[in-house]
Amino acid sequence: MKLQMVDVVGQYRTIKSEVDQAVHAVLDSGQFIQGKDVGELECAVAGYLGVKYAVACASGTDALQIAMMALGIGPGDEVVTTPFTFVATAETIALLGAKPVYVDIEPRTYNIDPAAIARAITPRTKAIIPVHLYGQPADMDPIMEVSRSRGIPVIEDSAQAFGASYKGRKVCSFGAIGAVSFFPSKNLGCFGDGGMLVTDDVALGEQMRVIDALRACLPG
């Protein structure tokens, strides 16, 4: 018996008629960018995660980059994160001219060690990016405690953990911003690349929506 790592065609077949209907409705509407379905998905995701605002974007990588752009992160800044992640986490920090500062992981969960985060903070630290790896949430209580006590925002890299909960609360609802990926192999995959940014700060959400819309015209 052949087992595929991700059976995207098998998944599609189980809901084929619903998907086909939805895709054809979009094709018939002519709204190939944004449109009512995107707005409905943003509302559904925000409601599901228990946050106030969601912005759809092109990928999880874009979500991380836009999140850092909205927080004004750039050259000379440091972002504390884990080395045990997909390359996009550090790549987007470097792309903005900032420095990824790696701290160690916990031996039990392989997620970022909150005590190591506290030790890595310097006056240049502008954000902390924990990654909820393999669907397993990072230890958010001590991470948010460091964030609050040092006044440094957290961006949750939830690319691998859409729908996961930490102590009864959905990941993505703890930090200033949550970054989601809908890459086909992710827990909630789409047909192509896709991502979303979520936040409880409506002004920050609107800023991310503008950056997402204008990004093609911005340097970097």
Ligand X SMILES: Cc1ncc(COP(=O)(O)O)c(C=O)c1O
Nearest distance in Å: CB 72, ligand X: 21
11-19, 41-49, 59-67, 122-130 -> range binding ligand X (CB under 6 A):
59-67
What is d(CA 67, CA 63) in angstroms, rounded to the nearest whole number?
6
* Separation CA 137–CA 106 (nearest Å): 12
Q: Is residue 81 at the binding interface for ligand X, with CB under 6 A as the rule?
A: no
Annotation says 52 is catalytic: no
On the 0-12 / 13-18 / 19+ scale of CB atoms within 10 A, 192 is exposed
Amino acid at 29: S
Would you give the binding string for ligand X spanning residues 87-106, x where CB under 6 A is met? -xx-----------------
First-last CA distance in the chain? 47
The nearer residue to ligand X, 193 or 201, going by C-beta atoms, is 193
Indicate which single residue of 81, 82, 85, 173 sits in contact with ligand X (rule: CB under 6 A).
Answer: 85
Find the binder of ligand X among 125, 181, 199, 207 (CB under 6 A): 181
The contacts of residue 58 (CB under 8 Å, 6+ apart) are 193, 194, 195
Strand order in the sheet with 53-57: 53-57, 195-199, 177-181, 155-157
157 binds ligand X (CB under 6 A): yes
Q: What are phi and psi of 147, to 5 degrees?
A: -60, -50
Assess 61 for contact with ligand X (CB under 6 A).
yes
User: What residue type is assigned to position 11 of the chain?
Assistant: Q
Is 31 or 185 the residue whose CB approaches ligand X more closely? 185
Catalytic residue among 36, 126, 170, 186: 186
Choose the binding region for ligand X from 2-10, 24-32, 55-63, 100-108 (rule: CB under 6 A).
55-63
Residue 100: strand, helix, or coil: strand
Kind and range of the H or E run holding 18: helix 16-29
Q: Which stretch binds ligand X (CB under 6 A): 67-75, 81-89, 108-116, 209-217?
A: 81-89
In the complex, which residue's CB is closest to ligand X?
A: 60
- Binding region for ligand X (CB under 6 A): 59-61, 85-86, 88-89, 131, 157, 159-160, 181, 183, 193, 195
